[in-house]
Every structure is written in C-alpha cells, then in structure tokens.
Amino acid sequence: MSEGAVPWVLHVDLDEFLAAVEVLRRPELGGTPVVVGGRGDPTERGVVATASYAARELGVRSGMPLRTALRKAPEATFLPADHQAYEEASASVMATLRGLEGVVVEVLGWDEAFLGVVTDDPEGVAQHARSEVLAATDLHCSVGIGDNKVRAKIATGFGKPRGIFRLTDQNWFTVMGDRPVVDLWGVGPRVSRRLAGHGVRTVSELARAPVEVLTQEFGPRMGRWYHELGSGLGPSVVDDAPWVARGHSRERTFQENLTSPEQVDEAVRDLATRAFADTAREGRAVVRVTLKVRYAPYFTTIYGRRLPAPTTERDDVVAAALALTERLEAGREVRLLGVHAEMVMPDGPGRADRTPVRGRI
C-alpha cells in the first residue's frame, strides 16, 4: 500500500442486469429491445422489471405497465422474470467481488454492491473489478467512485453503461448543483414536489435550505437526511456483515379489477398467509403489517399498523392485514394488493438496510 492510499467507496452496478442475463441465454437478442417483467405477456397487467438499453431508447422504463411498454416498443421481446436465474448470476458476481484482494464487499441487492478499499488508485480498482466480473460471468457493470456511499451510488449513473465515474466533495456541486433534487438517491417525485413547495428544486437549493424548514416538513430524521443529501453527505463505512431482511412482502396484480370487499378480503388473506410463511421460515416474530393498494386506474397508497406485541401466530398477522382493508376507499376498484410483514431484528451480526429508497413498503 502506497503512502498516498486513502479510503474509497466504490459502487458496482450491473448494467441492464435482468435483460443481460436473458441475453446470455439467448445471444440472438443482443442489441435488441428486451423487456423483462410479469409473465412475459405484455397484453396482461404487470410492470417492467428491467429493460435493455435498446428498449430504454424507445422510452421503456422500470416500473412502467407492460401494456405501455408494448405501445412504446412493439418490436421488443417480452420475457417473464426468472428469479432463480438472476439469483444464480448475482451469486457469481458477488463471489467474484469478494475474491478481489483488499476489498470489503457490502451487497445491496441482486445487481449492486458497495466496495470499500484503501488505495491511491480507485479507478484502477474499479477497472479491475469490472474486468474480473466480465471474465467470470460475461456480465458488464459500471462503477461509481466516491468518498462516501451517497456520492459513489450517484456517480454510477454518470458512468453507465460500462464505465467509471468519480464524484467527491471536490466536484459535487460542479456536477450536481444545478440538477433537480429528484436526481438524488432516495428522492422520488413525491418528495421532490414537497420540496418544490418550499422553493427547493435543485441540489444546490436543497443544500442551502434551512434545516428547520426541512425537519418541519419531513420530521427530524428525514429532514436532516435530505439536508445533508443536498451536500452529498452520507456514511462512508462499507459493512460486509450479512444482509438481514427487515421483513417479507407478497403482492399480486389482478388481471381483472377487484370490485367487492369480499374479493379484496380473500386476496389479502392469501397474501398475508404467504408473507407470514416467509417470516416463519426465519423464526422471527412479526411486529408490523403493511397493506399496499393500487386503485384503478393507477393510484397507489399504503396503510400500516404496528401490532400490540410481536407475534409468531399466523392468525394475528392475517387479522392485522384484514383490519387494514377497512381503511380502503369505498367503491374504488383495486388492481393490485401487497402485504408486507416486518419482523423483529435478530441479535448478533447482521445488517439491515435503513437507507431511504424509492418505492419500498
């Protein structure tokens, strides 16, 4: 290690991961529009899990209804999600990253991880990581380099596809200052609109916003988080402790809208039972139940309740989920339901993801 070596955080993000795995199995699809999601039938209800870059150039985006994706890219190949294949590919990638010398690996999901390394050449480490992953899996990735996790994560977007980008305190405002706040990690459209109500539209404006205004709007924890986010501040320690799920979710998109309370109750009962079964396999008690509802045509809201006491009884979890259906808007048709069971965190080593992200329940 040279005298100029300092700690760096690298964010490795696999390019168009699900689509790339499918192309490995179907090489003839390389360079063509590929959309992965649902059961692979774009005439059914479902959402895009990921799209190849060729499909993105046609306007297809993750989370978009499959039917909308079909209108934007009628020539695309639509494929069902194959979770086992993606888990196997992800495991190979993460094993490769863990094999890098002098690197600490913190897995974030199937297709991304933070690397912690002390070096005087972070670009060299990033390029070595990219080369090793490609050699081992035939999958391409991009790498963001930062002096903390927030900057490394955001930097990756500037490196895509198949590239490397460095974002630090030195160039944060040069790169990010005039960008809209929605470009920040953890700031979605809803938060962006709330910030706009206070005259905060750009990253620089968020950094200059009085912290008192933000804490009044978002609460003491999230208000301070958003204030620090405007300056690119964030944690810098990469933790290789095993990731521990905070809970388990089950959801379902219905091909025909649910129109009666009886249909909703039946579906919620089934989803809650399956979510509870996932928690039971871990042997951890459930402490909170959340119900996600997507009304027709496409409005989503979330209801939640903390249980009176942690429970390992299925009937308690099902009853809590069913009680939440009483808060649904009467007369509105339902196109999607989801039940999330949050568990007691275990003692001992383990890491739960507490980073604010978009779209989680």
pLDDT tens string 49-82 = 999 999 999 999 999 999 999 999 999 999 999 9
Output the CA torsion 194→198→201→206 (10° steps): -100
Beta strands in 120-210 (DSSP E): 141-146, 164-167
- CATH 1.10.150.20 placement within the chain: 172-230
The two three-digit tokens of residue 8, written as one number: 């760096």
Please report the pLDDT score of residue 244 as a whole number. 83
Fold of the domain spanning 247-343? Dna Ligase; domain 1 (3.30.1490)
Q: At 279, which helix (H) or strand (E)? A: helix 261-282
pTM for the predicted model, two decimal places = 0.83
- CATH 3.30.1490.100 placement within the chain: 247-343
With beta carbons less than 8 A apart as the criterion, state whether 223 and 210 touch. no
The two three-digit tokens of residue 28, written as one number: 């003839």
Q: For the residues 178-197, what does the mean pLDDT come to?
A: 96
With beta carbons less than 8 A apart as the criterion, state whether 243 and 351 touch. yes
- CATH 3.30.70.270 placement within the chain: 1-168
Fold of the domain spanning 1-168? Alpha-Beta Plaits (3.30.70)
- Return the DSSP state at 183: G
Question: Which residue type does 256 have?
Answer: E
Q: At 272, which helix (H) or strand (E)? A: helix 261-282
Residues assigned a catalytic role:
112
Please report the pLDDT score of residue 298 as a whole number. 86
Q: Please state whether beta strands 112-119 and 104-109 pair in parallel, antiparallel, or not at all (unpaired).
A: antiparallel
For 9-39, give the secondary structure using H, E and C: EEEEEECCHHHHHHHHHCHHHCCCCEEECCC
Please report the pLDDT score of residue 350 as a whole number. 57
Please enumerate in sequence order all residues whose Cβ is within 8 A of that of 184, keeping only pairs 6 or more positions apart, or say none: 154, 176, 203, 206, 229, 230
Distance CA 111, CA 83 (A): 12
pLDDT tens string 194-239 = 999 999 999 999 999 999 999 999 999 999 999 999 999 999 999 9
- Return the DSSP state at 242: P
- In this predicted structure, the answer to whether residue 170 has a pLDDT above a threshold of 70 is yes
With beta carbons less than 8 A apart as the criterion, state whether 46 and 37 touch. yes
- Return the DSSP state at 315: H
- In this predicted structure, the answer to whether residue 356 has a pLDDT above a threshold of 60 is no
The two three-digit tokens of residue 205, written as one number: 């404006």
Q: For the residues 74-103, what does the mean pLDDT come to?
A: 97
Q: For the residues 111-138, what does the mean pLDDT come to?
A: 98
% of the chain exceeding 90 in pLDDT: 91
pLDDT tens string 26-41 = 999 999 999 999 999 9
Please report the pLDDT score of residue 348 as a whole number. 54
Q: Please state whether beta strands 334-343 and 286-295 pair in parallel, antiparallel, or not at all (unpaired).
A: antiparallel
Please report the pLDDT score of residue 245 as a whole number. 85
Please report the pLDDT score of residue 360 as a whole number. 27
Q: For the residues 10-34, what does the mean pLDDT come to?
A: 97
Distance CA 31, CA 34 (A): 9
Please enumerate in sequence order all residues whose Cβ is within 8 A of that of 330, keeping only pairs 6 or more positions apart, or say none: none
**Cβ count within 10 A of residue 178:** 12
- Return the DSSP state at 344: P
With beta carbons less than 8 A apart as the criterion, state whether 145 and 123 touch. yes
| Locus of tokens 């695309």 | 76
Q: What CATH code would you report for 172-230?
A: 1.10.150.20
Q: Which residues pair with 65 in a beta bridge?
A: 47
- In this predicted structure, the answer to whether residue 353 has a pLDDT above a threshold of 90 is no
Which of 84, 135, 111, 113 has the alpha carbon at shortest distance from 16? 111
Which of 358, 62, 360 has the alpha carbon at shortest distance from 192? 358
Q: Which residues pair with 114 in a beta bridge?
A: 11, 106
- The region of weakest confidence among 64-68, 221-225, 292-296, 348-352 is 348-352
